[in-house]
A = this chain, B = another copy of it.
Amino acid sequence: MLSFSNSRIHAFSHSLILAFSHSSTNQQQQLMIIQLDQNITASQLERLKEKLREIQYKTNRVSTQYGDYIIGVGKKDFDIRAIGTMPGIRDIHRVSDDYKLVSKKWRVEDTVIELEGGIKLGTGHFAIMAGPCSIESEEQIEKTINHLATNGIRIMRGGVYKPRSSPYSFRGLGIEGLKLWYNKAHEAGIKIITEVMMVEQIEAMLPYADIFQVGARNSQNFNLLDALGEVGKPVLLKRGISGTIDELLQAAEYIFSNGNERIMLCERGIRTYETAYRNTMDINAIAMLKDKTHLPVIADPSHGIGLRRYVDKVALASIMAGADGIIMEVHEQPEKAFSDGQQTLSFPEAERLYKQMRQAFELREGF
């Protein structure tokens, strides 16, 4: 059963208070990630905790879809081999970044997220997620699904809750729109990704979302990140409008450390002084993220430049920089879209790009 008790979080926060009340005068805090054997016994676990208490390490248990971990936080130097060789321990790592569980330093093998039907997201696979900015009507949904199916696209994007700068703008069709869309898409064998804006929405959306998207404006909404850590669906986390790479990785750490390691990171352009485009696509971030984390990295060229005319070039560039997938806006009639029309491709434009992207991905994989 899903519950938003946040009890795990609270217990965790509490256990850290003491550690941190001291840490301000002495910065050399150490963190270790201990991966437990699947069949660790209760007494083995107890011995491990005792060992950690001896060296005055606070512990936090993280259980995800893929593993069971103890995160230890303390200050003493210690011999990690003394712990690593204990029974019931699969692996142990010392980590020094501000992000730990999402770091490639610890987990060298990249995370590949699988969806039902054999859809894979991550290194070695190329995913396209396409669809309108906003879900607008049944007709629009049907036309888009038809377009995607024809082109072999297996994930549809769309918003039913829209974050809008002005309160007087269209804010989306809400949960009823989501249900309608989800059912139509699943009939056609297509998965959906959609934005969740607040903790309260999660429970209602959960049966009708294949991937939760966290928008740029919520990239440091830590309560939302915590709550998505307790959810059994993958999360695509967008970089903040002026978020750093470190902040993005730390946001992902929130989700992972609360129990969900099926996370994708999304570069969607950053805010700079340049006003010629809506955002400035940060291709560097794609290259660096693929190197720093084991999580899949997705690029959003539609927001990355915000101008339809150039979306194709930005998409292709993102693939060359290392992106594992592209999320992009398409609409049967971009000029009539409720939102983001100026950065949305028409179906024929999109079709041309799908082919080019697949060729670019193939070339890159051959390097």
Contacts and interface: CB of A to CB of B under 8 A. Distances in A.
Contact of A284 (B10, B271, B304, B337): B304
A287 B273 contact: no
A245 B222 contact: no
A206 interface: no
Contacts of A285: 274, 276
Contacts of A218: 221
Contact of A169 (B10, B20, B168, B273): B20
Given A274-B270, A284-B305, A314-B283, A250 B165 contact: yes
Nearest to A13: B171
Contacts of A167: 222, 226, 250, 253-254, 257-258
A360 to B, nearest CB: 7
A367 interface: yes
Contacts of A83: none
Interface string A207-223: 00000000001101111
A45 interface: no
Interface string A283-297: 111111001000000
A164 B257 CA distance: 14
Contacts of A322: 313
A245 B277 CA distance: 10
A124 interface: no
Nearest to A73: B168
A122 interface: no
A276 B313 contact: no
Interface stretch (A35-43, A105-113, A147-155, A194-202): A194-202
A247 interface: yes
A87 interface: no
Given A170-B13, A360-B320, A338 B21 contact: yes
A81 interface: no
The CB with the most chain B CB atoms within 10 A, among A165, A277, A283, is that of A283
Copies of this protein in the complex: 4
Contacts of A276: 244-246, 284-285, 288
Contacts of A356: 367
A351 interface: no
A53 interface: no
A321 interface: yes
Given A167-B254, A220-B217, A222-B163, A287 B272 contact: no
A277 B100 CA distance: 21
A174 B222 CA distance: 15
A188 to B, nearest CB: 25
A134 to B, nearest CB: 10
Closest 9 CB pairs of A and B: A242-B242, A317-B317, A316-B320, A217-B220, A20-B170, A287-B313, A287-B310, A317-B321, A198-B223
Interface of A: 9-10, 13, 16-17, 20-21, 24-25, 31, 71, 73, 98-100, 136, 163-172, 174, 197-200, 217-218, 220-224, 226, 240-242, 244-247, 250, 253-254, 257-258, 269-277, 280-288, 291, 304-305, 307, 309-310, 313-314, 316-322, 335-339, 341, 356, 359-360, 363-364, 367
